[in-house]
Amino acid sequence: MFDISRRELTLGAAGACAAFGLDKPVGFVDAAYAQQSASQLFRKYQVGDIEVFALVDGARNVPLRDGLVKNVEFEKVKAVMRGAGFPENQAPLRFIVMALKVRDQVVLIDAGTGGHPIYGDGNGRLFESMSAAGLDPKAVKTILISHLHGDHIYGLMNNESNAQVFPDADIVVPAAELKWWTQPGVEQIDLGPSRKGLAQRIKVTVASWKNVRTFEGEPELLPGVQAVQVPGHSPGMVAHLVASGSKQFLITADVVNLAPHIATNPEWQLAIDQDPQMAVETRKKVFDRAVADKLIVSGTHWLMPNAGTLTKDGNSYAFVAEG
Ligand SMILES: [Zn+2]
């Protein structure tokens, strides 16, 4: 079990800042944190009477290349990576599916990669992680989708036949997102290798399934779970705000794909965000709200534990992992 105290994180940030001559402290600073294995399959958080689970679906190291951060020199990006305890040539990502347990009902937030080969080997471990967490896939009656990228929806469908994995569940998708991915000519838009074939697959699956419903705006989707508009990474992406008792937990999906770096550099424009400038504006809005409202925030691609709190730190933010 991974274990690090708040004090160690704080000292680590100060030390790295001094050691690497960075102009800002760095969040997530600890080599052990950066190099942790994906062996920890789940984590559980209590939000009032709702249990929130982080379920590991897989992991991947994304090669760092010039242009991944569009508005920052590559050498500066590499320096921040080193300062955060990461190798300077690759960024470790996780694929994490969030789940809620409300009484006997299990709600999934997104469905992971489905083990699709485009995301590399060893992914698609959602059912294994659910089993480790004591969650029965048959108890899943609702799936809330943040956005329609493959690493969030391919877990809904069989990789060969496209048959539904959760045919008895209601699948709840932001209307703007479904509209964007089914607009005429969308298949011709080049969104990079990881999104190749995605629009076509959405058309023959999610867009035609009878158990999919859409919504506009920021409604309460389930008792205690509200949609929050967070466009940028994908045009119609939403986050999910879980509130119960005195606690609020914001499942931010892909508002921040490289948390350790973007928390300290929220202005970084990532090439993997479909509208990088809008993604920056959304990120700052979400982070500021998280600070003001003392939210626990989680991200799909952060390392475990992938939830914690943020504090404002000049123009950047410091993240302290929860638990
Ligand atoms: Zn993603």
Distance 149 CA to ligand 1 centre (A): 6
Q: pLDDT tens, 225-259?
A: 999 999 999 999 999 999 999 999 999 999 998 87
Distance 153 CA to ligand 1 centre (A): 10
Q: pLDDT tens, 97-117?
A: 999 999 889 999 999 999 999
Q: Which residues surround ligand 1, an ion (CB under 5 A)?
A: 151, 254
Distance 213 CA to ligand 1 centre (A): 21
Question: Phi and psi for 22 in degrees, rounded to 5?
Answer: -75, 155
Instruction: Please say if the pLDDT value at position 263 is more than 90.
Output: no
Which domains occur in the chain, in start order? 6-321 (3.60.15.10)
Distance 147 CA to ligand 1 centre (A): 8
pLDDT of residue 315: 84
Q: Which of 122, 107, 119 is nearest to 149 (CA)?
A: 119
Q: How far apart are CA 259 and CA 78, in angstroms?
A: 15
Distance 252 CA to ligand 1 centre (A): 11
pLDDT of residue 194: 81
pLDDT-derived band at 162, boundaries 50, 70, 90: very high
Distance 320 CA to ligand 1 centre (A): 22
Average pLDDT over residues 175-180: 98
Please classify residue 153 by burial: count the beta carbons closer than 10 Å to its beta carbon, then call 0-12 exposed, 13-18 middle and 19+ buried: buried
Report yes or no: 250 and 240 within 8 Å, Cβ to Cβ: yes
pLDDT-derived band at 2, boundaries 50, 70, 90: very low
Tell me, what amino acid is at 316?
S
Per the DSSP assignment, residues forming a β-bridge with 46 are: 51
Question: The whole model's pTM is what?
Answer: 0.88
Average pLDDT of every residue of the chain: 87
Instruction: Please say if the pLDDT value at position 26 is more than 50.
Output: no
Q: pLDDT tens, 277-318?
A: 999 999 999 999 999 999 999 999 999 999 999 999 888 898
